[in-house]
Amino acid sequence: MSDNNSINNNPVNNNMGNDNNMGNNGNMGNNGNMGNNGNMGNNGNYGNNGNMGNGNNPVKKAGLSKNTLIIGIVAVVLILWGISAYNGMVKVEEQATTEWAKVQSAYQRRADLIPNLVNVVKGYASHEKETLEGVINARAKATQVTVDPKNLTPEKMKEFQDAQGELSQALGRLMVIQEQYPELKANKNFKDLQVQLESTENRINEARNSFNDAVQTYNTKVRKFPNSLLAGIFGFDKMSKFEADAAAQKAPEVQF
């Protein structure tokens, strides 16, 4: 009995001392369900779970804000460039149209001198009917040909230039008449008109040259990349310049 009680009540009894169910029992001590259990400790659903930890990551927000800022800056730069390029093309276009107005003004001044010149010539060479009518008809044709500065196409420019060229030739034939009529050549009114006509021809040449320079600047502006992109969108078309007269291309003949 004594042995039995000693054995049964021994504190080192496996059922009381190192019993796995009480001491190091996996269910109580290091049990994965309580200690390092993934469901409680490092469980992705609670600790480093992407749905709980990094869902609203401020780093991602900062990256998104930075990209938005860059896009906004680029958009502002493009808008400012577009405004500057557009205004620049408008400026050179206005300069070209202003020079064109000077050309038209100079040609109109010449046309205004012709009636008085014809009347003076009639007084001394009334029988030069063909020459006088040629000048009158050429003047009428030249004044009827008008060109919109916003539509300076090669065809329109050629039509205008041809009409003015015919008038220049008719005036040239008229001026030759004075050599046959000494009294006409000596007439004061004729001399005054001749001086005014020569001055007007010089104005025409200067106006044409200034216009060609302005058109050259405009065409260069609208055709250069990237301005050409906006030019096509907003209708900044290429302008045509005055071409040299065929008579000017021919060397003068000298006779002895």
Q: Which amino acid is at 187?
A: N
Q: Give the tens place of pLDDT for each residue, 10-67.
A: 443 444 334 433 333 434 334 434 344 434 344 444 444 444 444 556 555 566 688 8
Residue whose token pair is 């008008």:
146
What distance lies between CA 75 and its chain's CA centroid? 18
Q: What is the pLDDT of residue 59?
A: 54
Give Cβ neighbours of residue 1 (< 8 Å, ≥ 6 apart): none
How far apart CA 242 and CA 245 sit, in angstroms, is 9
The model carries a pTM of 0.68
Q: Write down the mean pLDDT value for the chain.
A: 77
pLDDT digits (tens, 9 = 90+) for 166-222: 999 999 999 998 888 999 989 999 999 999 999 999 999 999 999 999 999 999 999
pLDDT tens across 98-141, in order? Answer: 999 999 999 999 999 999 999 999 888 888 889 999 999 999 99
DSSP conformation class of 29: S
Q: At 243, give phi and psi (nearest 5°).
A: -100, 155
Burial of 172 (0-12, 13-18, 19+ CB in 10 A): exposed
Find how far residue 81's CA is from the centre of its chain.
10
Nearest to 120 by CA among 174, 168, 170: 174
